[in-house]
């Protein structure tokens, strides 16, 4: 069954690692929705979050191939555990009249998004949320005419309850 | 390990320059000292502008480390590959930037595909010129990224020791492979205090060698339940030096064995339970066993498409067990019922402790019967020179005791089919990449590794021309490498496919303008011999193999020979074509 998976990859924070990962993904023909990179609480470690789709076998290959890279410290399939997911999107939407502006702002309010910039013809909106919320928002805003859009791609983190982390499927195979 | 063929070199601590420790030294000094401390006493190197400082240091250390000059960087890497396969140690190569790197690429890809441990040092332009399209600048790391296990760029001289240690460690552990180390020119001149890290630890790299006891027990239980078990052995068994444990397992359980092209010699070729090589040009016996068995036990093999044929029809009645050091190799193409991640040596040793002895049964009787009729065979002839006959004679004359390397083409298959290997690390062939031009330089590496061994390259008239310049290297270094050219006037393997699938349109597969190979050898200062008829075969081999120096033997074989059996690409293993038997 083709499911959406959020794969979190902890890697050594040095030169060339991103190139290695993206070249592996391209070379093996894996499809990905998004890939983000950033530093973690430990400056020597970066976290990459890869959103991809595939059946069990494909996801298993992706995680195994990632684990095979020397610079990869840990691969976790977040989809296997309780987690929070967030993506930030900036959308510039056409709003040439007072009427459309009001309508857009209504949608913005319902989704708890924010207007961060405006001009006589456009509004720029910032929204954060998981992919479902973001997709639903985009669907609502689309009819007004999206002029530009920039998505960060998702990041995710396991939930914690009473000081105990909910663990994802760590795929360092034994 | 009792596995033979491994050359032991003395501990070279006497060569260490202890006086360097704690002192400021140039990058070049540190680099060469580190390579020596890794136990390297021989490397293949081709100089150029940006690596002159390193070659100057190699000159200073010439009594401790020998540098062999190939005549092309590709050949240098293949030679290190052959050396590594025979010794079981990490091969070392040093090339210059730009064209040095790009020439080495084919050798790197070849070694990496066959999991051969190599460290390849590449020169690089100075740090401040990187990215400026400077003279002889190539992004070595970028060019080789998909074809190496790992790569490093040395940014500062104080990083050299750590990187060199990690490079050799990564190349030789887990699933072995190629590590590339890019060395900018300025780093070889700059100075740093030399400190030798006694141990290597990489937090993100901890290869699993010990198979999980539970998964090993499950495998033992599966074997106990199976009526028709079948061992499918790959190159991983050779690399892990696990042949003795494999033989013990078979002696205990009487399970028939097939070894892939890469694994010839991992199990004795003369053993009654040996099924031959499987796959496209494998024995009918080996392929039928896949289709009839109820349990495939793959060890260090990777279910390559040339082995499995049409996947959906592969081993239809069998459960699959897969032992491999590389987790990503398991379930890559086939569903696996009993996965075991671990080193073949470790897993087989542990398996032998828990597996129940198994008596020969109906399956063994069937196997013995089929071995009579389903083995490699050809119609003998005295009218024409058959290549299979030449290989058989080489086998007889060398008593199966030679190191055989091959080029790629029909010749590679004939060599694999008709030479029987009883010991591992005696068979050097490019399996994964199928690189023409591999065999001759690999034979050079092998001869350096085993100076007293009979080393023979089985070559085609096409392939030999891809690294024929190495004649200079064998003559210069007095290497008694023997090259057997099975000369059919064609890129024969291509011609065979064109005959079968492209209406005999021999497009670009006829090799015109062939030289007289014996004279070529002669011009280089080697010996050249030619066999024109069937009756010439034995005398030429006798003279050639007895000659103490390098020899080219040119055998004018029957031109339109085909390799049989053959499972056409995309067909199931039991849909094989065989030689017509008039
Ligand atoms: C570098 C390279 N180029 C092309 C091929 C494709 N190829 C495979 S076998 C072969 C023919 C080899 O001819 P020869 O060495 O004469 O051996 P034969 O098949 O005639 O025995 C070719 C061109 C290859 N394997 N390697
Ligand atoms: Mg030929």
For residues B359 and B410, state if they share a domain.
Answer: no
CB contact under 8 A, B341 and A73: no
For residues B344 and B428, state if they share a domain.
Answer: no
For residues B217 and B181, state if they share a domain.
Answer: no
Question: What is the pLDDT at residue B331?
Answer: 86
- Shortest-distance ligand to the CA of residue B494: 1
Question: What is the pLDDT at residue B221?
Answer: 98
Domain boundary among B340, B373, B406: B373
CA gap B436, B485 in Å, rounded: 13
Annotation says B149 is catalytic: no
Domains of chain A: 3-82 (3.30.70.260), 84-155 (3.30.70.1150)
Range of the domain at B230: 213-373
Looking at residue B182, which CATH number applies to its domain?
3.40.50.970
CA gap A125, A114 in Å, rounded: 6
**For residue range A160-169, what is the model confidence (pLDDT) as tens digits?**
887 777 666 6
The shortest C-alpha distance from B129 to chain A (Å) reads 17
Mean pLDDT value of segment A100-116: 97
| C-alpha distances out from residue A85 to A81, A82, A155, Å | 12, 10, 6
For residues B66 and B141, state if they share a domain.
Answer: yes
Question: What is the pLDDT at residue B581?
Answer: 64
Indicate the helix (H) or strand (E) that contains B523: helix B517-524
ipTM score of the complex? 0.86
Does A15 lie at the interface with B, CB-CB under 8 angstroms? yes
> Is residue B499 one of the residues assigned to a domain?
yes
Question: What is the pLDDT at residue A57?
Answer: 86
Question: What is the pLDDT at residue A168?
Answer: 61
* Helices and strands in chain A: count of H runs, count of E runs: 4, 12
Whether the CB-CB separation of B124 and B54 falls below 8 Å is answered with no
Confidence (pTM): 0.94
> Is residue B247 one of the residues assigned to a domain?
yes
Q: Ion ligand 2 — residues with CB under 5 Å?
A: B 460-462, 488, 490, 492
Residue A28: closest C-alpha in chain B: B146
- With beta carbons under 8 A apart, name residues in chain A contacting B202: 70
Question: What is the pLDDT at residue B208?
Answer: 81
Residue B332: closest C-alpha in chain A: A61
Question: What is the pLDDT at residue B3?
Answer: 36
Question: Can you state the percent helix, strand and coil of chain A, rounding each to 5?
Answer: 30, 45, 25
Looking at residue B368, which CATH number applies to its domain?
3.40.50.1220
For residues B287 and B150, state if they share a domain.
Answer: no
Q: Is the pLDDT of residue A94 over 50?
A: yes
**For residue range B151-187, what is the model confidence (pLDDT) as tens digits?**
999 999 999 999 999 999 999 999 999 999 999 999 9
**For residue range B441-470, what is the model confidence (pLDDT) as tens digits?**
999 999 999 999 999 999 999 999 999 999
Does A12 lie at the interface with B, CB-CB under 8 angstroms? yes
Whether the CB-CB separation of B313 and B288 falls below 8 Å is answered with no
Ligand 1 first shell, C-beta below 6 A? B 407-411, 434-436, 460-463, 486, 488, 490-494
Q: In angstroms, what is the span from residue B123 Cα to ligand 2's centroid?
A: 36
Q: Whose CA is nearest to atom 18 of ligand 1?
A: B492
**For residue range A109-133, what is the model confidence (pLDDT) as tens digits?**
999 999 999 999 999 999 999 999 9
For residues B292 and B152, state if they share a domain.
Answer: no
Query: Three-class SS of residue A158?
Result: strand
- With beta carbons under 8 A apart, name residues in chain B contacting A72: 204
Q: Which of A60, A64, A70 sits opposite B204 (nearest CB)?
A: A70
| Best to test chain A binding among B124, B144, B201, B328 (most A CBs inside 10 Å) | B328
CA gap B322, B495 in Å, rounded: 36
Question: What is the pLDDT at residue A26?
Answer: 87
Question: What is the pLDDT at residue A162?
Answer: 76
**Mutate which of B280, B405, B408, B466 for ligand 1 pocket (most atoms within 8 A of beta carbon):** B408
- With beta carbons under 8 A apart, name residues in chain B contacting A13: none
Atom index in ligand 1 nearest the CA of residue B459 equals 15
For residues B244 and B369, state if they share a domain.
Answer: yes
Residue B170: closest C-alpha in chain A: A70
Annotation says B53 is catalytic: no
For residues B218 and B364, state if they share a domain.
Answer: yes
For residues B365 and B473, state if they share a domain.
Answer: no
Interchain CB contacts (distance < 8 Å): A and B? 43
Q: Is the pLDDT of residue A90 over 70?
A: yes
For residues B37 and B167, state if they share a domain.
Answer: yes
**Mutate which of B77, B391, B493 for ligand 1 pocket (most atoms within 8 A of beta carbon):** B493
Q: Average pLDDT of each block of 10 consecutive residues along chain B (582 residues)? A: 39 92 98 97 98 98 97 98 98 98 98 98 96 94 96 97 98 96 98 96 90 96 98 97 98 98 97 97 96 98 93 96 92 92 96 98 98 93 96 97 98 98 97 97 98 98 98 98 98 97 97 97 98 98 98 98 93 89 56
CA gap B321, B338 in Å, rounded: 4
Q: Which of B149, B170, B341 sits opposite A174 (nearest CB)?
A: B341
> Is residue B104 one of the residues assigned to a domain?
yes
Question: What is the pLDDT at residue B1?
Answer: 32
Annotation says B135 is catalytic: yes
CA gap A60, A28 in Å, rounded: 13
Q: What is the 3-state secondary structure (H, E, C) of B132-155?
A: CCCCCCCCHHHHHHHHCCEEEECC
The shortest C-alpha distance from B175 to chain A (Å) reads 10
For residues B175 and B232, state if they share a domain.
Answer: no
- The set of residues, in sequence order, having a beta carbon less than 8 Å from that of A63 and lying 6+ positions away, is A7, A75, A77, A171
- The set of residues, in sequence order, having a beta carbon less than 8 Å from that of B312 and lying 6+ positions away, is none
Question: What is the pLDDT at residue B5?
Answer: 36
For residues B140 and B237, state if they share a domain.
Answer: no
- The set of residues, in sequence order, having a beta carbon less than 8 Å from that of B134 and lying 6+ positions away, is B125
């Amino acid at each position: 069954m083709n499911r959406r998976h959020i794969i979190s990859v902890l890697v050594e924070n040095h030169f060339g690692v991103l190139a290695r990962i993206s070249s592996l993904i391209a070379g093996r023909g894996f499809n990905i929705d998004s890939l983000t990179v950033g530093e973690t609480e430990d400056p020597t470690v970066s976290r990459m979050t890869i959103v991809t789709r595939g059946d069990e076998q494909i996801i298993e290959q992706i995680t195994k191939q990632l684990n095979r890279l020397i610079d990869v410290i840990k691969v976790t399939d977040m989809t296997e555990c309780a987690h929070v997911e967030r993506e930030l999107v900036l959308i510039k939407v056409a709003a040439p009249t007072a009427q459309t502006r009001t309508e857009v702002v209504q949608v913005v309010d319902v989704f708890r998004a924010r207007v961060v910039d405006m001009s006589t013809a456009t509004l720029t909106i910032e929204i954060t949320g998981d992919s479902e919320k973001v997709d639903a928002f985009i669907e609502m805003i689309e009819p007004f005419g999206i002029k530009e859009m920039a998505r960060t791609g998702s990041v995710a983190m396991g939930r914690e309850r009473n000081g105990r982390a909910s663990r994802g499927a760590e795929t360092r195979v034994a | 390990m009792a596995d033979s063929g491994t050359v032991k070199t003395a501990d070279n601590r006497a060569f260490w320059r202890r006086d360097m420790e704690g002192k400021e030294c140039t990058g070049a000094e540190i680099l060469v000292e580190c390579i020596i401390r890794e136990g390297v006493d021989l490397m293949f190197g081709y100089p150029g502008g940006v690596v002159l400082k390193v070659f100057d240091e190699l000159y200073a250390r010439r009594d401790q480390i020998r540098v062999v000059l190939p005549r092309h960087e590709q050949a240098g890497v293949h030679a290190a590959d052959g050396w590594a396969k025979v010794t079981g140690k990490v091969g070392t190569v040093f090339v210059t930037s730009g064209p040095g790197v790009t020439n080495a690429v084919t050798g790197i890809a070849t070694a990496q595909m066959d999991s051969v441990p190599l460290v390849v040092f590449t020169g690089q332009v100075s740090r401040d010129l990187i990215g400026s399209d400077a003279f002889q600048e190539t992004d070595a790391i970028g060019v080789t990224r998909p074809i190496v296990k790992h790569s490093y760029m040395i940014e500062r001289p104080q990083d050299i020791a750590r990187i060199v240690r990690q490079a050799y460690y990564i190349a030789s552990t887990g699933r072995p492979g190629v590590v590339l180390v890019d060395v900018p020119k300025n780093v070889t001149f700059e100075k740093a205090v030399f400190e030798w890290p006694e141990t290597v630890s990489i937090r993100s790299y901890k290869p699993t060698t010990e198979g999980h006891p539970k998964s090993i027990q499950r495998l033992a239980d599966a074997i106990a339940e199976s009526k028709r078990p079948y061992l499918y052995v790959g190159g991983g068994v050779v690399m892990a030096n696990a042949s003795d444990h494999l033989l013990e397992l078979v002696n205990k359980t009487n399970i028939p064995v097939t070894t892939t092209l890469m694994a010839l010699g991992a199990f004795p070729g003369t053993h009654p339970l040996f099924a031959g090589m499987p796959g496209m040009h494998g024995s009918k016996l080996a392929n039928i066993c896949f289709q009839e068995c109820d349990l495939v036990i793959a060890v260090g093999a990777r279910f390559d498409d040339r082995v499995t044929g049409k996947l959906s029809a592969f081993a239809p009645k069998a459960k699959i067990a897969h032992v491999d050091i590389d987790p990503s190799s398991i379930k890559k193409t086939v569903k696996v019922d009993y996965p075991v991640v671990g080193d073949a040596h470790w897993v087989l040793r542990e398996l032998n402790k828990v597996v129940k002895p198994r008596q020969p049964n109906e399956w063994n009787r069937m196997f013995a019967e089929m071995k009579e009729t389903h083995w490699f065979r050809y119609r003998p002839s005295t009218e024409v020179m058959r290549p299979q006959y030449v290989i058989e004679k080489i086998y007889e004359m060398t008593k199966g005791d030679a190191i055989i390397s091959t080029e790629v083409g029909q010749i590679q298959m004939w060599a694999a089919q008709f030479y029987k290997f009883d010991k591992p690390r005696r068979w050097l062939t490019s399996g994964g990449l199928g690189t023409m031009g591999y065999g001759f330089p690999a034979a050079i590496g092998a001869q350096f590794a085993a100076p007293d061994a009979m080393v023979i390259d089985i070559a085609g008239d096409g392939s030999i021309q891809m690294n024929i310049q190495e004649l200079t290297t064998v003559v210069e270094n007095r290497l008694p490498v023997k090259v057997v050219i099975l000369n059919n006037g064609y890129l024969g393997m291509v011609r065979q496919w064109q005959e079968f699938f492209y209406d005999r349109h021999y497009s670009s597969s006829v090799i015109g303008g062939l030289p007289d190979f014996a004279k070529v050898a002669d011009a280089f200062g080697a010996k050249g011999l030619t066999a024109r008829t069937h009756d010439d075969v034995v005398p030429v081999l006798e003279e050639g193999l007895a000659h103490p120096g390098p020899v080219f033997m040119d055998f004018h074989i029957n031109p339109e020979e085909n390799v049989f059996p053959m499972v056409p690409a995309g067909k199931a293993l039991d849909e094989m074509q065989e030689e017509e038997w008039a």
